[in-house]
Amino acid sequence: MFSRIGRLLLAAFLALGVLAVARPAAAAPPSCVPATAASAADYFNRTVPGKLARDDVPGAVVSVVSGTQTVFTRGYGESDVAGGVPMSADESLVRIASITKLFTATAVMQQVEAGRLDLDADVNTYLKTFRIPRTYPEPVRLRDLLNHTAGFEDRIIGTGARTAEDVVPLGEYLADNVPARIRPPGVVSAYSNYGAALAGYLVTLVSGEPYDRYIQRHILTPLAMAHTTASEPVPRGLKLARSYGDDGDVVPFTFDQLTPDGAISATASDMARFAIAHLNQGRGILSPATTATMHTRSFSADPRLGGYAHGFIDRTVNGHRVLMHDGSWEGFGSALLLVPDCRVAVFFSLNSSAGFEVLGEVVEGFLDRFAPGSAGPSTSGPRAEPPQAGFYAPTRRNASGVEKLLTLLGPARLRVESDGTLRFRNKTWTPSGDGSYRNEDDHLVAVSGSDGVRYVGTDGPTFELLGRTQTLPFNLGVLLVFAVAALSALVVPIVGGYRLARRRAARPGTRRTWRVSRGLAASAALLGLAFLIGLAASLFGDTSAYLYGAPLSFRLLFCLPLVAFALAAGAVGCTVVGWRGAGVLSRVHQVVLLVGIGALTWFCWQWNLIGWQFA
């Protein structure tokens, strides 16, 4: 479903899952190799050009920090292919997308330091024009927003805008698009752009400043980040690189309705300044005490897994603790990583969605060179039962709208093998002896949530066990029942035509009612089939427009099931009236049609396909 939307979902909920691939086999204690101008240049100059050429990526930028200094910056390739403009680490802005969340989290911590915000306060304490619904007894806290544990469902449709005029004021957009709460807060993490934007909005409420102005005054200006902006579009005088899709076409600028979650554009050199501040006790933007709090792990579903540190993604790679975040938007792919024990940081970004594999390879190679080591021993944690076999979907999902269908299209099956290993997400996970499972540097743990739901947590995303009726095999079976019935509906007009040609006499009254019931049922089935065909064409076609809202053609498509169900209701009534005067075969086929329509009705109800549930 949603080819472009699917990539956005994948890039965001994997949360730098590009690092969870093969690591060096030889065990070695964690160590730090000094990152100097010469050593960084040697690594990137040897690595980046060839990989960009291999995947046909126009350009990339990089910056490396060691201690208190930027030791290396460089641009590779072109920021504008048609104009032949080279990428510049000092001048070429890239859209850092979800790395913006680190600026938002920093702003939140500034206001916590100032005493205007409290991490453990109910967010409704600060909201004035709308409320987060009290779906569960536990309130959503500000801390939950930073940890992505608020329990919000996810949405993609309508989160972008084509022009500045189409952008709704942040508070108004948040009020009109409050997501459903689908689990209690603090149970597991489920990446939420809405939650991050809400955190940024709270900063604007208590500070009295718009988000972009706040970021400029309190973070960018103090750190001399003169070539970075949180404003959209990018102000004149700043040079935003062009970005490109998989096919090499230029990706148009898209405005973010949830600005605190991904609106910032920055140069690699400026991102080094931001990294230096965080590597050096918040110098210039936070006090040492507040920085220490921000860098403390604030959530993990299990001690053996990665988690969050007040906005930072908190991982262990090569035995080193890594604070990081990634982001992808409009063809840009970026990653910022800090390795506190080595006092080193790297920012790497490229301007084509064709290069996301390059992003992972380059960043991982950097860690292998400058922060080498093995995965290290498992962290002790509570003993747990093996995960339950079955189909699992990411906890980042939609539940109240048509996007719920993504849950059906994207589950992963977990199998427990006879030797005790697990097969999940095309990986083999080996027992670690402490109740967890390992695939190189990535860990997997079965988690029983306080909400009674079974989860599988990894160092990246968390997955939720699906009930049988939510699995793909079950739903394919339901659709098969309907498809067979719908195709058999073609028999009705054929038989009707045959009878007309033979001019067979039919008793008036009930026979006429029966013929009407047959026609209504057949029409309903065929309309339902047309709806599913149209839905499939929409899901697997070009879906870039869905970021701006459901297109008119998609909205009109949802008239078909309503008409089909109305016809089916009429068919049921006429069937009851005309039942006695019908033949046996005709009765059997009518039941087949109605059962098939019933299967379609259940499917549409299950996946929010009845009506216009787009928000």
| Alpha carbon distance 182, 235 (integer Å) | 39
Neighbours of 293 (CB within 10 A): 18
Q: What is the pLDDT of residues 122-133, one digit of tens each?
A: 999 999 999 999
- Alpha carbons 175 and 168: distance in angstroms, whole number: 11
Residue limits of CATH 3.40.710.10 in the chain: 37-371
- Which tokens hold the place of 587? 């009765």
Q: What is the mean pLDDT of residues 287-311?
A: 96
Q: Which residues of 579-606 are buried (b: 16+ CB within 10 A; e: fewer)?
A: eeebeeebeebbebbbebbbbbbebbeb
Least confident interval from 102-116, 137-151, 309-323, 424-438: 424-438
In sign, the C-alpha dihedral spanning 263, 266, 268, 271 is negative
Average pLDDT of the residues in 268-272: 98
Residue 89: is its pLDDT beyond 80? yes
- Distance from the Cα of residue 130 to its chain's centroid: 25
Q: What is the pLDDT of residues 429-453, one digit of tens each?
A: 999 888 899 988 789 999 988 888 8
Higher pLDDT, 164 or 511: 164
Supply the DSSP symbol for 284: T
pLDDT at 375: 63
502 pLDDT band (50/70/90 cuts)?
low
Nearest residue to 153 via CA among 609, 475, 608? 608
Write the pLDDT tens digit of every residue in 30-78: 899 999 999 999 999 999 999 999 999 999 999 999 999 999 999 999 9
Mean pLDDT (whole number) for 292-316: 96
Nearest to 317 by CA among 443, 474, 168, 187: 443
pLDDT for 27 equals 53
| Pick from 489, 513, 506: nearest CA to 574 | 513
* Contact status, residue 212 vs residue 230, Cβ threshold 8 Å: yes
Spatial CA neighbour of 75 closest among 48, 46, 42, 95: 48
Residues in the chain: 615
Cβ distance 111 to 156 under 8 Å?
no
Question: Rounded to the nearest 5°, which phi and psi values hold at 132?
Answer: -85, 125
pLDDT above 60: residue 8 = no
Rounded Cα gap, residues 179 and 428, in angstroms: 35
Return the structure tokens found at 458: 């990894």
pLDDT band at residue 3 under the 50/70/90 scheme: very low
Match 């939720």 to its residue by tokens: 464
Residue located via tokens 């063809």? 331
Provide the pLDDT confidence category of residue 314 given band limits of 50, 70 and 90: very high
**Mean pLDDT for the stretch of residues 453-477:** 94
10 Å CB burial of residue 504 (0-12, 13-18, 19+) is exposed
Give SS3 for 524.
helix
The continuous run of DSSP H or E covering 279 comes out as helix 268-279
Fold type of domain 37-371: Beta-lactamase (3.40.710)
Determine which helix (DSSP H) or strand (DSSP E) holds 315, and give its type and residue range: strand 312-317
Q: Cis bond leading into 461, ω under 30°?
A: no
- What is the token pair recorded at 267? 């140069």
Residue-wise pLDDT for 593-613, tens only, equals: 999 999 999 999 999 999 998
Can you give 51-75 as a three-state secondary structure string? HHHHCCCCEEEEEEEECCEEEEEEE
Dist. CA 233–CA 253, nearest whole Å: 8
Higher pLDDT, 501 or 602: 602
Mean pLDDT of 308-321: 96
Reading the block at residue 449, the tokens are: 């949530």
Q: How confident is the model at residue 2 (pLDDT cuts 50, 70, 90)?
A: very low
Place of tokens 């929010």: 608
Query: Is pLDDT at 110 greater than 70 in this prediction?
Result: yes
326-342 tens-digit pLDDT: 999 999 999 999 999 99
The answer on pLDDT for 485 being more than 70 is yes
d(Cα 531, Cα 600) in Å, to the nearest integer?
10
Could you count the other beta carbons within 10 Å of the beta carbon of residue 125? 12
pTM: 0.91
Given the structure tokens 């793909």, which residue do they identify? 472
Q: CA–CA separation, 74 vs 61, rounded Å?
A: 6
Query: What is the average pLDDT value for the chain, to the nearest integer?
Result: 91
Cα radius of gyration rounded to whole Å, the chain: 28
Q: What percent of the chain shows pLDDT beyond 70? A: 90
Confidence of residue 142 (pLDDT cuts 50, 70, 90): very high
Q: What are phi and psi of 311, to 5 degrees?
A: 110, -35
Q: How many CB atoms lie within 10 A of CB 229?
A: 23
Q: In DSSP terms, which residues pair with 333 in a beta bridge?
A: 328, 350
Q: What is the mean pLDDT of residues 546-559?
A: 94
| pLDDT given for residue 113 in this prediction | 98
Query: Tokens 């007009």 appear where?
Result: 493
- Residue 446: per-residue pLDDT: 94
**Separation CA 311–CA 302 (nearest Å):** 18
DSSP tag of 553: H
Amino acid identity, residue 382?
P
pLDDT band for position 377 (50/70/90)?
Answer: low
Residue 493: pLDDT band with limits 50, 70, 90: low
Phi/psi for 427 (5° steps) reads: -130, 155
Q: Which of 379-388, 517-526, 579-588 is least confident?
A: 379-388
User: In this predicted model, which residue has the larger pLDDT, 380 or 275?
Assistant: 275
DSSP string, 155-176: --TT-EESSGGGPPPHHHHHHH
Q: How confident is the model at residue 22 (pLDDT cuts 50, 70, 90)?
A: very low
- Look at residue 442 in the predicted model and tell me its pLDDT: 87
The whole-number pLDDT of residue 471 equals 94
Q: Any residues with CB less than 8 A from the CB of 385 and at least 6 apart, and which?
A: 435, 446
Tell me which long-range contacts 405-408 makes (C-beta under 8 A, separation of at least 24): 405/1, 405/539, 405/607, 405/608, 405/609, 406/1, 406/2, 406/6, 406/9, 407/466, 407/470, 408/470, 408/472, 408/475, 408/607
Model pLDDT for residues 381-416, shown as the tens digit of each residue: 555 568 999 999 999 999 999 999 988 888 899 999
Amino acid code (one letter) for 92: S
* CB atoms inside a 10 Å sphere around CB 512: 14
